[in-house]
Structure 1
Amino acid sequence: MNSLISLRKKPTQKRSSATVAAILEAAALILETSGLENYNTNEIAARAGVSIGSLYQYFPGKDAITRKLIAREMEQLRDTLADVAFLHSGHSGLHHLLAAAINCQLRRPVLARVLDLEEARLPPDEDVERLASQIDKIVHRCLAAPDLPESARAPEAVGDIVAIIKGMVDAAERRGETDISSLTSRVSKSVFGYLGCAP
């Protein structure tokens, strides 16, 4: 893994975990309010209220901070989706999954959009790939439910459904949509239509 985008030191104590959390939230706020133009380690440290030396104890540069931010957002989505694995109905699971994915993406839409662009720019990261795999497994377990049609178990179904959700939500973000109910309804129709069953 590229040393410029990986964590230097993992926080183990409450104080160091709080420092890392402050750095990440400061970085997120800068991306939301100023975009990438003012996104640098000096600005992040100042906004977080930590010294630049403290920041460099944990992160070798801004790309490492960005990677950790991407992982943080994916962890929140994974944790929100975790209950899907325990639902016996594929229909209920899919509805839960769609609502969770849309709410996570639209919770902080500007940040989500910037992080999507940065994820495409940065080289692969083990933590991000591991989290993506965990999310895919949750979707796969949901699609394996017996009340969903055979098409839900096709090898490409997980990737297609994730792409449908992401594509539609990203497009809604770019248009500045705020009606989550309407968006959820449209995404549901697309996903269940893809599977060949009623939403």
Structure 2
Amino acid sequence: MSPRKLPRQQRAAATVAAILDAAASILERGGFDAYTTNAIAERAGASIGSLYQYFPNKTALTQALIAREDAALAVSLKALLDLPDEADLLRALIRVAVAHQLRRPVLARLLDSEEARLPVSDEVHQLDTLMKTIFRRCLGDTLIANQPHVPRDLFAIIHGMVDAAGQHQEDDSDALVARVERAVFGYLAVSA
């Protein structure tokens, strides 16, 4: 399920990027019914042989697309680690989650469903570790030690609300951020 080979030259990297962009676009517009390797290769302006040179099947292509989206999210999350205040860090985490979901909501929703179906990748493990680090900084080791379910609950609240907003095609990020903050900080007030 992993890529056959990694692009080593700039031209090859551009081909892989074009294939991933085409795959994302097709998923967004036509869902999994339209998500065929022939359609992706055509949209990317690449031959089907070039696509198969890098991706042995649609699953490998989907995993690469998930990895690309997770990497973009990880970059935004890593930037949060410079914030000193726990409440500001948690608010920033919520803003990042909302921005990531609403940037390409259809793609995010479809990839989330595939991510749940596919084996857990290294990128997902790295993202999970990063989230745990952020929650530890937001909540403190004492709260986590006394109530280890709290980070899991917070992740579920944020992820669930943000995904639901994407499914309902919401596009008002400020309103969504405010609702998620109310849910998260309300939960923390009760849990403290």
Q: TM-score, normalised by structure 2?
A: 0.91
Cα distance between partner residues in 1 of 2:67 and 2:154 = 21
Gapped runs of 5+ residues in structure 2?
A: none
Cα distance between partner residues in 1 of 2:35 and 2:89 = 38
Q: Give, in angstroms, the shift of residue 124 of structure 1.
A: 2.5
Gapped runs of 5+ residues in structure 1?
A: none
Post-superposition CA distance 1:137-165 (Å, at most 9, x none): 233333339xxxx5366322222211111
**Quick one: structure 1 residues 89 and 14, their matched pair in 2 at CA, closer, same or farther if it must change by over 3 Å?**
same
The aligned counterpart of 1:119 is 115
Cα distance between partner residues in 1 of 2:56 and 2:124 = 18
Q: Give, in angstroms, the shift of residue 81 of structure 1.
A: 1.4
Q: State whether residues 8 and 57 of structure 1, in contact with CA within 8 Å, keep that contact through their aligned partners in structure 2.
A: yes
Residue 100 in 1 paired to residue 96 in 2? yes
1:177 counterpart SS class: coil
Cα distance between partner residues in 2 of 1:24 and 1:139 = 31
Residue 167 in 1 paired to residue 163 in 2? no
The alignment yields a C-alpha RMSD, in angstroms, of: 1.8
Q: State whether residues 77 and 130 of structure 2, in contact with CA within 8 Å, keep that contact through their aligned partners in structure 1.
A: no
Q: Give, in angstroms, the shift of residue 48 of structure 1.
A: 0.5
Cα distance between partner residues in 1 of 2:85 and 2:162 = 24
Q: State whether residues 67 and 123 of structure 2, in contact with CA within 8 Å, keep that contact through their aligned partners in structure 1.
A: yes
Cα distance between partner residues in 1 of 2:139 and 2:7 = 37
Post-superposition CA distance 1:5-45 (Å, at most 9, x none): 21111122211111111110100000000100011111111
**Of 175-184 and 188-197, the range deviating more from structure 2:** 188-197
The aligned counterpart of 2:73 is 77
Cα distance between partner residues in 2 of 1:50 and 1:75 = 24
Give % identity. 51
Q: State whether residues 16 and 54 of structure 2, in contact with CA within 8 Å, keep that contact through their aligned partners in structure 1.
A: yes
2:57 to 57, 61, 64: 61
1:192 to 173, 179, 185: 185
Q: State whether residues 84 and 96 of structure 1, in contact with CA within 8 Å, keep that contact through their aligned partners in structure 2.
A: yes
Cα distance between partner residues in 2 of 1:13 and 1:135 = 33
**Quick one: structure 1 residues 157 and 122, their matched pair in 2 at CA, closer, same or farther if it must change by over 3 Å?**
same
2:81 counterpart SS class: helix
**Quick one: structure 1 residues 23 and 132, their matched pair in 2 at CA, closer, same or farther if it must change by over 3 Å?**
farther
2:6 counterpart SS class: coil
Cα distance between partner residues in 2 of 1:135 and 1:78 = 9
Matched letter for residue 151 of structure 1 = L
- When the two structures are aligned, how many residues end up with a matched partner? 189
The aligned counterpart of 1:87 is 83
Cα distance between partner residues in 1 of 2:134 and 2:60 = 27
User: Which 4+ stretches in 1 moved above 6 angstroms?
Assistant: none
The aligned counterpart of 1:39 is 35
Q: TM-score, normalised by structure 1?
A: 0.88
The aligned counterpart of 1:157 is 150
More helix by percentage = 2
Cα distance between partner residues in 2 of 1:48 and 1:75 = 21
